[in-house]
Structure 1
Amino acid sequence: MFRIPEQDQQRIVEVSRQLCSRGQLGQTREYIQHGHTTVYTHVHHVARIALWLNRRLGVKADRDRLIRSALLHDYFLYDWHDRNHRHPRPHGFRHPRVAMETAHAHYGLHDREKDAILGHMFPLTPPPRHREGWLVTAADKLSTFQELSAWWRKKVRSASAGGRARIRRKHSLPSSASQSDQS
């Protein structure tokens, strides 16, 4: 649906490789973001959609800052579903600052990249001030909708086929919750 030119796709891959080699972007493959989508896959979806929106709407945002912002917007490096982890809560309000600070410490960020990361959860956070931030914000919402829709469809198909649909695959429910589900 969000087709971008090959040179844009190649640039996402190049920037992603640079970020993986210099920091911990590759570690985000271990964390689930939405449904069954990893953070790593999600941020790549966001980069692709942001570039598509940039071209489609004629916004003329800086391509490399847009890609870096998209790839680092969820660079918080923890499993936000883990209730035992001491990450800042509520996650939706707090993770943009954690992601920005972690990304800045590992890579150094331009002000527009900081703004895009901090503002991507608008309206839960203050709005972005620059076009890169607005594109990442919109792309993040579109990507999240796509990912959750796919997960929900798969969950419904599994349940209708007689299987018991599970919400999370990484963590099992606490024993009291699983017992109440069976009654």
Structure 2
Amino acid sequence: MEFVRKIWENDPEYMTIIKDLLNNEKLLELEEITHHHYTTRLSHSLFVSYVSYKLAKSRGLDYISTARAGLLHDFFLEGRHEILEMGLGSHNSAHPKIALKNAQEITEINEVEKDIILKHMFLCTLKGGVPRFKESFIVTLVDKYCAISEVSTPTREWFKEFYARLQIKVSYN
């Protein structure tokens, strides 16, 4: 993920697309929230946003909406327990609605962005409905890819160190 970070920070077109969002204090609070055990919610959102942006752009799709909605897809400050206490349902079905509400408070959201944010958990819950746009499918799939990468990379490194201490040679290639 660190590799991706260095890339997105040096991509002037991408930075122009999301610059206004990265200047929002409420969105920046996501940097204080641990996400997927090993990263922050802001780092995860940037990872999803940038990879999705590159995929959408390479396919001639609406990469601007994809980048912006990818950054806003997990724009919620509540934890899993707080979401349950709010009575909005499970974390998987409720947090997209909270993210959309928060996103609409800081910027104008178009129909593609709305669909991306609301339906990015499509593979984990059917409550949000089936995505209507190709861009929504991209963010949905990239979100799952990034989550797996964020969890598996540190875990794999831990196992490498563990096996090294036991003097067992393991290859992950």
The TM-score with structure 1 as length reference comes to 0.73
Q: Given that residues 9 and 15 in structure 2 are in contact (C-alpha distance below 8 angstroms), is that contact kept between their aligned partners in structure 1?
A: no
Q: Superposed, which structure 2 residues align to 1:57-136 within 5 Å?
A: 58=59, 60-80=60-80, 83=81, 86-87=85-86, 88-123=88-123, 124=125, 125-136=128-139
Aligned residues: 157
Identity, % of aligned positions: 26
Letter in 1 for 2:32: E
The structural deviation recorded for 1:154 is 3.5
For structure 1, list consecutive stretches of 5 or more residues without a partner in the other structure.
Answer: 163-183
Q: Write 1 or 2 for the structure with the bigger share of helix.
A: 2
Letter in 2 for 1:29: E
The structural deviation recorded for 1:149 is 0.8
The TM-score with structure 2 as length reference comes to 0.76
Query: Could you tell me which residue of structure 2 aligns to residue 176 of structure 1?
Result: none
| 2:23 aligned counterpart, secondary structure | helix
Q: Distance in 2 between matches of 1:109 and 1:94?
A: 19
| 2:137 aligned counterpart, secondary structure | helix
Q: Distance in 2 between matches of 1:128 and 1:84?
A: 27
State the Cα RMSD in Å: 2.9
For structure 2, list consecutive stretches of 5 or more residues without a partner in the other structure.
Answer: 167-173
4+ residue runs of structure 1 moved beyond 4 angstroms?
A: 5-8, 157-162
Give 2:19's match in structure 1, choosing from 11, 17, 20: 17
Q: Given that residues 47 and 66 in structure 1 are in contact (C-alpha distance below 8 angstroms), is that contact kept between their aligned partners in structure 2?
A: yes
Q: Distance in 2 between matches of 1:84 and 1:94?
A: 11
